[in-house]
Amino acid sequence: GQSLEQPSEVTAVEGAIVQINCTYQTSGFYGLSWYQQHDGGAPTFLSYNALDGLEETGRFSSFLSRSDSYGYLLLQELQMKDSASYFCAVKGGYQKVTFGTGTKLQVIP
């Protein structure tokens, strides 16, 4: 089976940097994705890591260590609009995608 762990809540100050960690256990592994979901909205894709290392997309970066079954999402220059829930998701065997329970990020002035 597949399971993921991420913190339930994080609070950070506008303009700061925040890191959201995700550890996973899975049978079969293709990659780790991150999604953002605002209250009442649909999840939207942020990033995907299939190989070890850091992927950067604007203010957002995502990191993966396959040997440690660990990844993180890094958000820089935080803005109020970044307040949302962030989900890590693992694509494992048979292309099944399992989502973590989500980290609620609150950005404060």
Position 11 contacts another protein (CB under 8 A) = no
Is 57 a binding residue for another protein by CB under 8 A? The answer is: no
Q: Are 49 and 72 in contact (CB under 8 A)?
A: no
In the complex with another protein, which residue's Cβ is closer, 51 or 109?
A: 51
- What residues contact residue 19 under an 8 Å CB cut-off, 6+ apart? 72, 73, 74, 75
In the complex, least distance from residue 102 CB atom to another protein, rounded to whole angstroms: 5
56 is a site residue for another protein (CB under 8 A): no
Q: Which residue has the tokens 């494992």?
A: 92
Does 30 engage in binding with another protein (CB under 8 A)?
yes
The C-alpha R_g of the chain, in whole angstroms, comes to 13
Does 106 contact another protein by CB under 8 A? no
**Is residue 43 close enough to count as binding another protein by CB under 8 A?**
yes
* Interacting residue with another protein among 11, 27, 101, 106 (CB under 8 A): 101
Using rule CB under 8 A, residue 100 touches another protein: yes
